[in-house]
Structure 1
Amino acid sequence: MTQSTAFLDFQATKMLHTAQGRELLDISFRLDQGRILAIYGPSGAGKTTLLRILAGLTEAGSGHIRVGDDTWLDTTRHIHLPTRRRAIGFVFQDFALFPNLTVRQQLEYASPEKHDSSIIAELLALMELEALQHHRPALLSGGQQQRVALARAIARRPSLLLLDEPLSALDEEMRNKLQEYILKIQQRFHLTTILVSHYLPEILRLADTAIILKKGRIVSEGTPASLFAGQTPPQKNNSSFKTTGTILRIEPSANAFIVSVRCADTIIDLTLSAAEATALNLNQTVSVIFNAINPKIIP
């Protein structure tokens, strides 16, 4: 990616205080407009600090942040835009909804154009919240509250959408449903999104590109398929994980078949036997299961 086409140009340093002691966060990356970047790494690696620096909630020791044509941070020029002047939508793990506002009022409060109800109506419909729009958070389930939090973040019409493990408090079924809503939002509004997640199936399904952080540094970056294929997720009682996708290509290769599956904007190539490949069709939705040995396709 060239600097001229990068929508987000980020570089920052910050001293971290971790359970293992002081670590220097020193991160630099660029991101194209309309892409989803996943940030992955152990606790204390600097994932949430990175988001907070982007949002202006944590001060960087040094660095610069350019989003489009706007400079949000440049420590050499003493530029530090406050959070209220940064076009961000931030979704937290704990939803952070206003308890006294209805669903519709949450979105109206966030919208920069108070008299334009079109974005509010569109988001209520897109997130399937129309029947709940006059309910307060106490009457909503966890999944419903997180849909409201996502819709509220989009109502701000952000240049950047920041997601800090937004689905980690939900069960697997609800998590999968919320991933669908995130993909719908991404497709409709063409957002530039940074997602912090520990959950590899989520990263494989949603992200175009990923960064692995350790001790405040980027140790690997690339497509999720190239970074995580064949790895097992950090879950005590689960030796495999899966994501869903659409078959783009089935081609013979030597004594096997190459099957390409699109998961979000990531393409995963798998080598299958003839017997396995004959059970598959182009444009078919399948599950790709990864384990410690090799990935498999389940129709």
Structure 2
Amino acid sequence: MIKIDIQKSLHGQIGDINLDVNLQIQKGDFIALTGKSGSGKTTLLRILAGLESANGNIEVNSVTWLDDKTNLAVQKRDIGFVFQDYALFENMSVLQNLLYVKKDKDLAFKLLELCDLKNLINRYPNSLSGGQKQRLSICRAMMNKPKLLLLDEPLSALDPKMRNSLQDEILSLHKEFNTTTIMVSHEPREIYKLSNRVILLENGEVLNDGKPKDVLLKTQGSQKFSFEGEILDIIKIDVVNIAIISIGQQLVEVVLSNQELQGLKIGSKINVGTKAFAPVVK
């Protein structure tokens, strides 16, 4: 079990906030940490990793990592950390990047096979695609079989197809090594697919904590679908208004009455919902 009770003052784009988090995480959990930019997600990961200081306590499997007398060094915390920028050794081959962490060829080959990199062991990072680099960075983070795997939006720079493929591999590694994983993500599909628990941070505090469906589902009452979007344009045709709305990677047209249009303008963030349960699936 991981017990976290920490506080830290943060100075961000939205002003000064106090990161104040009190959580208990079970061994083998896959936690998705989400929330607006500047809410303290990455700082919390860095505190867990020992890369930033904080007040309070962190205890992992009855071992104190942080309290008023102890601040365990990064290399003693038994963690794996995957950043957005890969952080690979460019002068080392794929295999050498893993063996630098731990001289265990059997484990290295097992990880490379799980992530479909076994045929690239002699290649160097500058000759790999973005997806291959991210696979390699994840493999390297697993070389010490960490008790805690920390993922800071590791797939955010990848295209949807590659992102979906790597999600499968992350989940496979999580289950194979029975590690506890905490991943920062803003992508609802990714969160729902990978995690068994979602923690929503806002202004440094836990705003919501529960199962993915309970935290992510935005429908209310008899609504069947609800999507977040942004108004890109408003076109008036005769007596109706047509709003062009960006939802994810798609644009949709929605007819609005004059009453519904009140208070809305180009750039407004809105929720688009429907109560008619007649979906068409192709």
Smaller-chain TM-score range? 0.7 to 0.9
Distance 2:273 2:195 in 1: 22
- Of the three residues 156, 175, 180, the one matched with 2:163 is 175
Which position in structure 1 is the counterpart of 2:30? 36
- Residue 110 of structure 1: CA displacement? 1.5
Q: Residues of 1 paired with 2:63 and 2:133: CA distance?
A: 32
Distance change (3 Å), C-alpha of 1:109 and 1:173: same
Which ranges in structure 2 are unaligned for 5 or more consecutive residues? 219-225, 231-244, 251-271
Alignment counterpart, residue 63 of structure 2, candidates 67, 70, 85: 70
- Does residue 91 in structure 1 map to residue 82 in structure 2? yes
Alignment partner of 1:9 out of 3, 6, 9 = 3
Aligned match of 2:126: 138
Write the deviation string for residues 134-179 of structure 1: whole angstroms up to 9, x where unpaired.
1110000000000000000001211100000000000111100110
1:233–1:102 distance in 2 versus 1, CA, 3 Å = farther
The 3 A distance-change label for structure 1 pair 108 and 223 is same
Instruction: Structure 1: state its 5+ residue gaps.
Output: 1-6, 242-290
Partner of 1:232: 227
Find the counterpart in structure 2 of residue 108 from structure 1.
99
What one-letter code is carried by the residue in structure 2 that aligns with 1:110?
A: V
2:248 & 2:140 partners in 1: Cα distance?
36
Write the distance in 1 (CA, Å) between the matches of 2:99 and 2:58. Answer: 29
Using the alignment, how far apart are the partners of 1:32 and 1:293 within structure 2?
38
Q: 2:192 matched to which residue of 1?
A: 204
Deviation at 1:218, TM superposition (A): 0.3
Distance, in Å, in 2 between the alignment partners of 1:18 and 1:103 is: 37
Q: Which amino acid aligns with 2:90?
A: P
Paired residue total: 239
SS at match of 2:51: coil
Residues 2 and 24, structure 2, Cα contact 8 Å, conserved in 1: yes
**CA–CA distance in structure 2, aligned partners of residues 240 and 136 of structure 1:** 33
In structure 1, distance between residues paired with 2:80 and 2:164: 21
Q: CA deviation at 1:20?
A: 2.1
Output the amino acid matched with 1:105: Q
Question: Highest Rg: 1 or 2?
Answer: 2
Cα distance change, pair 297–181 in 1 and its aligned pair in 2 (3 A): farther
The separation in 2 between residues aligned to 1:86 and 1:156, in whole angstroms, is: 11
Report if aligned partners of 2:58, 2:67 keep a CA contact under 8 Å in 1.
yes
Relative to the length of structure 2, the TM-score reads 0.80
Please list every run of at least 4 consecutive aligned residues from structure 1 whose deviation after the TM superposition is greater than 6 angstroms: 294-297
Q: What is the CA-CA distance between 1:238 and the residue it aligns to? A: 2.0
Name the amino acid aligned to 2:62: D
CA separation of 1:141 and 1:228: change in aligned 2, threshold 3 A: same
In structure 2, distance between residues paired with 1:97 and 1:210: 29
Q: Percent identity?
A: 42
Measured at CA, do residues 188 and 219 of structure 1 come closer, stay the same or move farther in structure 2, by a change above 3 Å? same
Q: Is the 8 A contact 2:229 2:246 kept in 1?
A: no
1:103/1:134 contact within 8 Å kept: yes
- When the two structures are superposed, what TM-score results if normalisation uses the length of structure 1? 0.75
Partner of 1:152: 140
CA shift digits 1:96-154 (9 cap, x unpaired): 1111111101111122xx2x322111111111111111111000000000000000000
CA distance in 2, matches of 1:36, 1:163: 11
Q: CA deviation at 1:233?
A: 5.3
Residue identity in the other structure for 2:157:
A
Aligned pair in 2 of structure 1 residues 149, 292: CA closer, same or farther (>3 Å)? farther
* Deviation readout 1:1-49 (Å, 9 max, x if unpaired): xxxxxx1111110001011211111001111111100111001100000
Q: CA RMSD in A?
A: 2.2
Residue of structure 2 in register with 1:248 after alignment: none
| AA matched with 1:128 | D
C-alpha distance in 1, partners of 2:208/2:141?
29
C-alpha distance 298-157 of structure 1, shift in aligned 2 (>3 A):
farther
